[in-house]
Amino acid sequence: MALVPAPVNDGPVFAEVDMGADSSALTVRATVVQASTIFYDTPSTLLKAERLLAEAASYGAQLVVFPEAFVGGYPRGSNFGVTIGSRTAKGREEFRKYHASAIDVPGPEVDHLAAMAGKYKVYLVMGVIERDGYTLYCTVLFFDSQGHYLGKHRKLMPTALERVIWGCGDGSTIPVYNTPVGKIGAAICWENRMPLLRMAMYAKGVEIYCAPTADAREVWQASMSHIALEGGCFVLSANQFCRRKDYPPPPEYMFFGAADDLNPDSVVCAGGSVIISPFGTVLAGPNYDGEALISADLDLGEIARAKFDFDVVGHYSRPEVLSLTVKDQPASPVVFSSASEKSESFPR
């Protein structure tokens, strides 16, 4: 496990602060994890997550961000046997196994993650595959340093073939949490390219913008820099670094059909995790070398300094010309209105 150390300040880094004090004077140590899921093995993935979290905490991390779909896995290269108008028996079985690797929210795995955050006294942002009945969601979970589950964000729009295996989130799960280490929110992978979603997060005051992803291309860095500048916020992007051997062997799991590279050491996701300041300065990363903990100290005062120039939802907005309405209520296909059942709906 390679470690990219955070820059060390002369003064102390505080785990908790009095929110009545000037929080903009706070420096926060943040770490993004670049590591691979243990595919189809959620218990082992959770054990790996705890080892990584313990290592990050030993270097003083107060906020730790894991990649998209770290728990449950990102099924890179798989088509689940889908063609227009047809699905194969092998693809259906592949979905069954993937569904079995997902987690319920709330559920025992969420309790385990909360306990880990409390044990190591860190704010934790974790990418998971959430199981809600028989529909899966690409989700980010948030935990505080006292071991409490705060809530979740479901990916609003899965990308391309992801839509076959994941449902779409709605406006009820676009949270920004006001914590002692800053206001934390998240957008997942290509939904970071949705301007209206970003605007909603800026309006909620996001200061530490987490971007778990599966995109290892160099062009991804341009998007991350733009968001940091646009939002006047810190951007923390975490991606998996995966080799062929991190997935089950063929024929159980195939990448891109017959084009599968069977070399166990071939890289199938190269990482590129990065931390960027509100001025667009790269503080740590991008890393394309292997599994790593990538850390930086975030001077929250940089947020006010950057927004002096440009506040996209403040002095640089023109609400009389341009405005956005966010429908932030749960979108349920079935709602029961009787007194005994009015609290029940689907999805849960």
Instruction: State pLDDT tens for residues 110-122.
Output: 999 999 999 999 9
- Rounded to whole angstroms, the Cα distance separating 173 from 208 reads 17
User: Which residue out of 68, 94, 191, 291 is catalytically annotated?
Assistant: 68
What is residue 293's predicted lDDT score, i.e. its pLDDT?
A: 97
**Residue 346 pLDDT > 60:** no
For the full predicted model, state whether its pTM sits above 0.75. Answer: yes
Residues of the chain with pLDDT > 90: what percent?
78
Distance from the first to the final alpha carbon of the chain: 39
Strand, helix or coil for residue 335 = strand
Please report, for the chain, the start and end positions of each structural domain, with discontinuous segments joined by +.
2-313+323-346
**Topology of the domain comprising 2-313+323-346:** Nitrilase/N-carbamoyl-D-aminoacid amidohydrolase (3.60.110)
Active-site residue 93, yes or no? Answer: no
Nearest to 160 by CA among 100, 217, 82: 82
Is 155 within 8 Å of 147 (Cβ atoms)?
no
Q: Count the neighbouring beta carbons within 10 Å of the beta carbon of residue 221.
A: 17
List, in order, residues 6 or more apart from 295 with CB less than 8 Å away.
4, 5, 6, 29, 30, 31, 32, 56, 59, 61, 275, 284
The sign one gets for the Cα dihedral 76, 187, 116, 60 is: positive
The verdict on whether omega for the bond into residue 7 sits within 30 degrees of 0, i.e. cis, is: no
What is residue 341's predicted lDDT score, i.e. its pLDDT?
A: 52
Per-residue pLDDT tens for 285-319? Answer: 999 999 999 999 999 999 999 999 999 999 999 99
For range 240-267, the mean pLDDT? 82
Strand, helix or coil for residue 92 = helix
Structure tokens at 262: 């069977």
Measured CA to CA in angstroms, residue 37 lies from 46, 130, 190 at distances of 9, 15, 20
